């Protein structure tokens, strides 16, 4: 038999095989059991999440010789025909290329002749939002009162482009993107059935790259198999998918830790020379930072399904100790911001370079700690406590929005500004009057800026 890509070979044949769309599958099952099938549905959702698949299963569930049943047999002639996409009882029409009034008229005439072998005729119109306004109008009447036993399923990735008049005549089902874990587990099942060996990390990479689309994940799996053969290693899959290797990030973080500015910037340059996409680079960096953050908390990596080899997990755990937790959090936040700004930037490389420089100068948070300590020693015991994150003083300060933020006022409870003029005059700290300290001013300025 000719080679068939995984996405087609593994198209679910029953509702049970569909992953991640339980809300839709459950509703349709009950509708079939209770004989409450609507005559028009809108299936919306991104590419490759099961719209056509569920439309075909529904057609079989209704038409199976043993049906209507939520569990079509898959054996009878009708089931087999529909499965292969050839069945007369399912018509799949491409809305993008059949979008005129004439096309709708033709469709109306064709479905006028009722079904041949089965009990229902299911008409799937893909990309229905591409119909012209006139075509939608021509369709309205048919949709309101279709010939008996005809069911329309309109699939679209842009539901907002469908007129409300059409919407109000249909039941709308929103298909979800499928989670990374679910997709990875699905891929694992398929690999096992295909007799392929795999590292779990490799499947997670594929699932993540698919961004919720099951079809994309299966196409990527095909691609990975062509490269790696019957043994999918994380390293090879990473390279097939154009993902940046962990060692690149590890090197970058080392340069950041050691304040090795030119090497840190150089590794960005190198990643670009090696042909990596900057968006991919930032996504990988965030994942790396995530691993570092969770490596500090016992069991947190496992609880999040991050399945690292023991040796790799230890590397993360050791490395994470080299960074202050607040620094890691700030890096994660900065990287997230860059990810969002990247697609609008005319000069994305510079964004990433600036991010790297920010990482390099992050140690200001260490000096805040030193400042607090210094403040506690100089300005009274309670200063550090009052200014510590989460404390009364800091909470007050955070609540103030820039619009109605008083001038350089200090948190009300923390430091009492007797003079009401400027901070660096006489400052009373919980009754203890501290001498003018430019350091306190620095602290106040810091709180005015962004601080984790």
Contact positions vs Mg ion (CB under 5 A): 51-52
Binding status of residue 329 toward ligand ATP by CB under 6 A: no
Give the residue with the Cβ less far from ligand ATP, 25 or 410: 25
Interface pick for Zn ion out of 28, 61, 79, 124 (rule CB under 5 A): 79
Q: Is 259 in the site for ligand ATP (CB under 6 A)?
A: no
Tell me how far, at minimum, the Cβ of 314 lies from ligand ATP, in Å. Answer: 36
Decide: is 13 part of the binding site for Zn ion (CB under 5 A): no
User: In this structure, what are the phi and psi dihedrals at residue 235, rounded to the nearest 5 degrees?
Assistant: -65, -45
CB 352 within 8 A of CB 337: no
**Closer by beta carbon to ligand ATP, 169 or else 215:** 215
Residue 85-114 contact track with ligand ATP, rule CB under 6 A, x = bound: ------------------------------
Q: Residue 150 or 218: which CB sits closer to ligand ATP?
A: 218
Give yes or no for residue 19 binding ligand ATP (CB under 6 A): yes
User: Does 290 engage in binding with ligand ATP (CB under 6 A)?
Assistant: no
Q: How far apart are CA 374 and CA 313, in angstroms?
A: 37
Question: Of these partners, ligand ATP, Mg ion, Zn ion, none, which one is at the site of residue 379 (CB under 5 to 8 Å by kind)?
Answer: none
Pinpoint the alpha helices (H) of 176-299. 180-193, 200-209, 214-228, 234-240, 246-257, 261-273, 278-295
The Cα 279–Cα 287 span in angstroms is: 12
Q: Kindly state the smallest distance separating residue 124's Cβ from ligand ATP, in Å.
A: 9
Is 338 a residue that touches Zn ion (CB under 5 A)?
no
Is position 11 an interface residue for ligand ATP (rule: CB under 6 A)? yes
Q: Both ends of the chain: CA-CA distance in Å? A: 60
Per CB under 6 A, the list member of 30, 47, 259, 405 interacting with ligand ATP is: 47
Secondary structure element (H or E) that encloses residue 79, with its range: helix 77-83
Neighbours of 176 (CB within 10 A): 15
Token pair listed for 23: 């809300």
* Beta strand pairing call for 231-232 and 197-198: parallel
Q: How far is the CB of 257 from ligand ATP (least distance, A)?
A: 43
Question: Vertex 162, ends 158 and 168: CA angle to 5°?
Answer: 125
Is the distance from CB of 434 to CB of 410 less than 8 angstroms?
no
Q: Which stretch binds ligand ATP (CB under 6 A): 10-18, 31-39, 57-65, 165-173?
A: 10-18
Give, to the nearest 10 degrees, the angle between helix 278-295 and helix 348-360.
30
326: phi then psi, degrees, rounded to nearest 5: -65, -35
Shortest Cβ distance from residue 308 to ligand ATP (Å)? Answer: 27
Which positions from 159 through 218 interact with ligand ATP, judged by CB under 6 A?
Answer: 178, 214-215, 218
- Cβ 87 to Zn ion, closest distance in Å? 11
Joined together, the tokens standing for residue 255 give 């340069």
Residue 53, both tokens: 């698949």
Residues interacting with ligand ATP, by CB under 6 A?
7-8, 10-12, 18-21, 47-53, 126, 155, 157, 178, 214-215, 218
């Amino acid at each position: 038999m000719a080679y068939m890509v995984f996405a087609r070979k593994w198209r679910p044949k029953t509702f049970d095989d569909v992953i991640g769309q339980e809300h839709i599958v459950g509703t349709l099952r009950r509708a079939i059991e209770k004989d409450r099938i609507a005559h028009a549905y809108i299936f919306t959702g991104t590419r490759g999440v099961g719209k056509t698949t569920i439309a075909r299963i529904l057609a079989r569930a209704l038409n199976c010789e043993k049906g209507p049943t939520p569990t079509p047999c898959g054996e009878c002639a009708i089931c087999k025909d529909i499965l292969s996409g050839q069945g007369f009882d399912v018509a799949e029409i491409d809305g993008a290329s059949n979008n005129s009034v004439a096309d709708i008229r033709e469709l109306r005439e064709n479905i006028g002749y009722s079904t041949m072998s089965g009990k229902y005729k299911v008409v799937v119109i893909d990309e229905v939002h591409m119909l012209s306004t006139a075509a939608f109008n021509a369709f309205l009447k048919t949709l309101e009162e279709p010939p008996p036993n005809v069911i329309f399923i309109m699939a679209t990735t842009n539901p907002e482009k469908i007129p409300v008049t059409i919407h109000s005549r249909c039941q709308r089902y929103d298909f979800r993107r499928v989670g990374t874990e679910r997709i990875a587990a699905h891929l694992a099942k398929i690999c096992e059935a295909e007799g392929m060996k795999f590292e779990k990390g490799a499947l997670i990479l594929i699932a993540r790259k698919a961004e919720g689309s099951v079809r994309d994940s299966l196409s990527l799996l095909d691609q990975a198999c062509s490269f790696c053969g019957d043994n999918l290693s994380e390293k090879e899959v990473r390279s097939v998918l154009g993902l940046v290797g962990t060692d690149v990030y590890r090197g970058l973080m080392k340069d950041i830790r050691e304040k090795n500015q030119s090497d840190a910037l150089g590794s960005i340059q190198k990643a670009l020379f090696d042909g990596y996409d900057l968006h991919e680079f930032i996504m990988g960096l965030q994942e790396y930072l995530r691993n570092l953050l969770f490596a500090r908390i016992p069991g947190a990596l496992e609880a999040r399904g991050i399945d690292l080899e023991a040796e790799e997990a230890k590397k993360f755990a050791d490395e994470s100790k080299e960074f202050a937790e607040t620094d890691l959090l700030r890096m994660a936040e900065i990287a997230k911001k860059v990810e969002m700004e990247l697609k609008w930037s005319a000069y994305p490389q510079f964004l990433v370079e600036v991010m790297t420089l920010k990482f390099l100068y992050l140690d200001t948070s260490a000096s805040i700690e030193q400042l607090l300590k210094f403040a506690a020693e100089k300005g009274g015991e309670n200063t550090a406590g009052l200014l510590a994150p989460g404390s009364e003083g800091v909470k007050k300060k955070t609540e103030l929005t820039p619009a109605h933020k008083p001038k350089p006022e200090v948190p009300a409870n923390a430091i009492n500004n007797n003079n009401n003029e400027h901070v660096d005059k006489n400052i009373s700290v919980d009754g203890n009057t501290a001498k003018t300290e430019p350091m306190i001013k620095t602290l106040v300025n810091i709180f005015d800026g962004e601080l984790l």
